[in-house]
Amino acid sequence: MNKERRNRINQIISELESLKDDIENVGEEEQEAYDNLPESIQYSERGESMSDNVSDLEDAASNLDDIISTLQDIIER
């Protein structure tokens, strides 16, 4: 792979890392909002939905980690 393509991939990695941070921040905010709900609401449909959102956001951030790792492997070859 030539230098130009490596640089483009490095830029993509940077953007993905920023997006991952944003997703993690939203997940932390959602978790905090869930934690601040009264227990009775945590077990309601709304609370379960918020908990699912936290889990899905964690999965999304993890998936981005996998993509970033794959891209780093590509440019190291």
**pLDDT of the residue at 64:** 98
Structural domain of 66? 3-35+45-76
Per-residue pLDDT band at 52 (split at 50, 70, 90):
very high
Per-residue pLDDT band at 45 (split at 50, 70, 90):
very high
In a domain, 68, yes or no: yes
Instruction: Give how many domains the chain has, as a whole number.
Output: 1
In a domain, 12, yes or no: yes
Interval 58-74 mean pLDDT? 98
What percent of the chain has pLDDT above 70? 100
- The backbone torsions φ and ψ at residue 9, rounded to the nearest 5 degrees and listed phi first, read -65, -40
**Cα 7 from Cα 4, distance rounded (Å):** 5
In a domain, 40, yes or no: no
2's CB contacts (< 8 A; 6+ apart) are none
74 neighbors 1 (Cβ within 8 angstroms): yes
In a domain, 13, yes or no: yes
- Please state whether the predicted TM-score (pTM) of the whole model is above 0.75: yes
